[in-house]
């Protein structure tokens, strides 16, 4: 078991000594990320940019060959198709991106859908056509706006939860850490023009969950130490709390990366964006819980008296017994 202990229990790393330069770097990265989003834009997938949806049933198969379909339909030149099962296992919905000029040419979108169906039927006889519909850019845009609002609502709800569980300073610190993580993830997708789909929304929600969990572990230890060490300077107490949770943080991150890196390197292309987003989220979520969420408490006015209940006689006796005056 000792072989698995990558971080000693008694580390004493002065994380907050470098809080100002790290904070400046993070602010620059956030600004750069949003500059990329605003200038280069996001490469929205079919889910958010609109496209043509066809639905087919494989009448003589118990299960639709989704992996084969993705390869064969991808060869038509309409980008990576989005293929999902609906209803029975042998029924699939296939969405492909439309060329920019398709929406202005009457019948062009339907013709693209017909080509997709013809391709499937040429490869798989006895496939039944169930539908061939166009998802307009306007509808997809509304869907995109709903997804963004859902993300913002999730972040605000998380901040309120931390506020209620701790103090308002902790809620602000947690919200800023989440904003940092989501901004850098969006910046990566804008920089490399990776396709942004519903899968990536799920990945961002996973990043929010991971970062929140990491931040709350650190905040819980800070709360405990605020009660135990009433006279310890806050920066020193924050360093102590981060060091006490460091082994758990590192082991959790490495365990997740052990599963993610092989999937990132050798997994299917359709999962690359999802895996890349979560892998980046592991790094930035761990970093932000240490260098964003904790140091912000100093600047937000958390003191050794914050968050401490009225001292009882028994508490005073215990504190005196520890030699803390």
- pLDDT, tens digit (0-9, with 9 covering 90-100), for 138-150: 667 777 888 888 8
Q: What's the pLDDT score for residue 24?
A: 93
pLDDT at position 88: 83
Domain chopping of the chain, boundaries:
15-41+140-300, 51-135
Over residues 245-260, the pLDDT tens digits come to 988 888 888 888 998 9
- Reduced 3-state DSSP string for the chain: CHHHCCCCCCCCCCHHHHHHHHHHHHHHHHHHHHHHHHHCCCEECHHHHCEEEEEEEECCCCCCCHHHHHHHHHCCCCCCCEEEECCCCCEEEEEECCCCCHHHCCCHHHHHHHHHHHHHHHHCCCEEEEEEEEECHHHHHHHHHHHHHHHHHHHHHHHHHHHHHCCHHHHHHHHHHHHHHHHHHHHHHHHHCCEECHHHHHHHHHHHHHHHHHHHHHHHHHHHHHHHCCCCCHHHHHHHHHHHHHHHHHHHHHHHHHHHHHHHHHCCHHHHHHHHHHHHHHHHHHHHHHHCCCHHHHHCCCCCCCCCCCCCHHHHHHHHHCCCC
pLDDT of residue 325: 54
In CATH, 15-41+140-300 is 1.20.1640.10: yes
Q: Which residues of the chain have pLDDT under 50?
A: 1, 3
> Residue 137's pLDDT is what?
66
Topology of the domain covering 51-135: Alpha-Beta Plaits (3.30.70)
């Amino acid at each position: 078991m000792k072989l698995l202990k990558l971080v000693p229990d008694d580390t004493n790393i002065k994380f907050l000594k470098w809080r100002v330069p790290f904070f400046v770097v993070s602010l620059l990265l956030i600004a750069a990320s949003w500059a990329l989003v605003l200038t280069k834009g996001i490469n929205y997938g079919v889910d958010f940019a609109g496209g043509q949806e066809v639905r087919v049933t494989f009448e003589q198969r118990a299960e639709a060959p989704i992996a084969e379909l993705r390869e064969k339909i991808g060869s038509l030149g309409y980008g990576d198709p989005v293929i999902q099962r609906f209803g029975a296992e042998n029924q699939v919905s296939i969405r492909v991106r439309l060329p920019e000029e398709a929406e202005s040419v009457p019948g062009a979108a339907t013709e693209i859908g017909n080509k997709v169906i013809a391709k499937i039927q040429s490869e798989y006889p006895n496939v039944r056509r169930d539908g061939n519909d166009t998802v307009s850019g306007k509808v997809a845009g509304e869907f995109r706006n709903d997804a963004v609002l859902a993300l913002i609502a999730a972040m605000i709800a998380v901040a309120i939860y931390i506020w209620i569980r701790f103090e308002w300073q902790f809620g602000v610190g947690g919200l800023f850490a989440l904003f940092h993580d989501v901004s850098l993830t969006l910046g990566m997708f804008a920089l490399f023009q990776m396709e942004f789909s519903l899968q990536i929304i799920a990945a961002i929600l996973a990043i929010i969950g991971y970062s929140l969990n990491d931040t709350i572990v650190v905040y819980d230890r800070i709360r405990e130490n605020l009660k135990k060490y009433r006279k310890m300077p806050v920066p020193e107490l924050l360093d102590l709390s981060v060091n006490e949770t460091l082994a758990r943080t590192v082991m959790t991150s490495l365990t997740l990366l052990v599963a993610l890196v092989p999937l990132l390197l050798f997994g299917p292309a359709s999962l690359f964006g999802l895996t890349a987003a979560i892998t980046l989220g592991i790094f930035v979520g761990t970093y932000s819980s240490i260098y964003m969420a904790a140091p912000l408490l100093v600047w937000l006015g958390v003191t050794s008296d914050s968050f401490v209940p009225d001292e009882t006689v028994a508490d005073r006796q215990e504190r005196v017994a520890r030699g803390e005056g």
